[in-house]
Amino acid sequence: MRDLTLLMTAGGVLIFVIVAALFTIAIRSRQGAIGHRGGMRLVLWAGAIVPTVVLAALLIGTLPAMRPMKADDRALVVDVSGEQFWWRVGYRAADGGAFAAANEVRIPVGRTVDFRLSAGDVIHSFWIPGLAGKVDMIPGRTNRLVARATRAGRYRGQCAEFCGLSHALMAFDVVAMEPAAFDRWLTEQRRPPPTPATLVAQRGARMFADNGCGGCHAVAGTPATGRIGPDFSHIAGRATLGAGIMPMSTANLVRFIRNAPAVKPGARMPRYTHLAPADALAIARYLETLK
């Protein structure tokens, strides 16, 4: 990729300099310095043949780089579904047990990842500029995107098809991890989160159940099995909240719990402004134990 950028830049500069030099010569020459025949020959070569040959060489030379990556047998399959306005993520059982996640996709470095992309409501588009191309997510269809991270790190993703009021607030992170760390993470994800240890977190767990949060959000190992909103089984392990729009912090959790529509216009989560701040804080403390 870097080679291609260098080649294009150097080639562009070279052509620009040649054209500028020809301009200078043409302006400074006296009339009739070049005959009709010579002029026509110049037009034919510099105007048609050379550009055609250069473009053909670029096309043939770069087409192999445009070939979509093929998924091999070892490929990690990750299901991602676009929802208004978040990302439903599913890891399959093939690697030892299926589990759900949301708004953050973790992948191992060096291994091919086969994203199976769908949508739950309207058309979304799955786009990770630093890692792979952009593929539409269409309700009723499963599109595929094959990618491979060559370096560990955090790659920002974004919905790239206007999908409603909070379209611009629908981001996510792809975290590429070293294979050993990824395997540890997989093992942790397959376990239900620990039961809350502190009093305030235990109260938060009760508030979570009493306010019906489990009707939309799932927490593995508890009666909360809702699938309307993001899965919370390991929400505290994510770096961001609200589909990549703000850092994971207690204050932001409280804000989102009490008034999600203010943070994310058009989101399906209703207001919980009737919740006392202390109760919302307790729920936030509970969510922070879900690692």
Partner 1 sequence: MSEDDTSGDDDRGLTERLRERRVTLWTLIVPPTVWAVHFLFCYLWVAVSCAKQGGFARFPIAFVAGTILALGIIVASGAIAFVQSRTPGDPPPHDESTGIDRTRFLATATLLLAGLSFVAVLFTAAPALMLTDCR
Of 47 and 221, which CB lies nearer to partner 1 in the complex structure?
A: 47
Of 101 and 147, which CB lies nearer to partner 1 in the complex structure?
A: 147
In this chain, which stretch among 11-19, 50-58, 155-163, 227-235 interacts with partner 1, using CB under 8 A? 50-58
**Shortest distance in whole angstroms from residue 55 CB to partner 1:** 8
Of 1 and 60, which CB lies nearer to partner 1 in the complex structure?
A: 60
Q: Which of 48, 94, 165, 278 binds partner 1 (CB under 8 A)?
A: 48
Residues 81-120 that bind partner 1 (CB under 8 A): none
Token pair 């058009």: residue: 266
In this chain, which stretch among 59-67, 161-169, 228-236, 263-271 interacts with partner 1, using CB under 8 A? 59-67
Based on the shown chain and the rule CB under 8 A, indicate whether residue 154 belongs to the binding site for partner 1.
no
Based on the shown chain and the rule CB under 8 A, indicate whether residue 59 belongs to the binding site for partner 1.
yes
Based on the shown chain and the rule CB under 8 A, indicate whether residue 66 belongs to the binding site for partner 1.
yes
Residues 185-214 that bind partner 1 (CB under 8 A): none
**Residues near partner 1, by CB under 8 A:** 48, 52, 55-56, 59-60, 63-64, 66-68, 135, 144-145
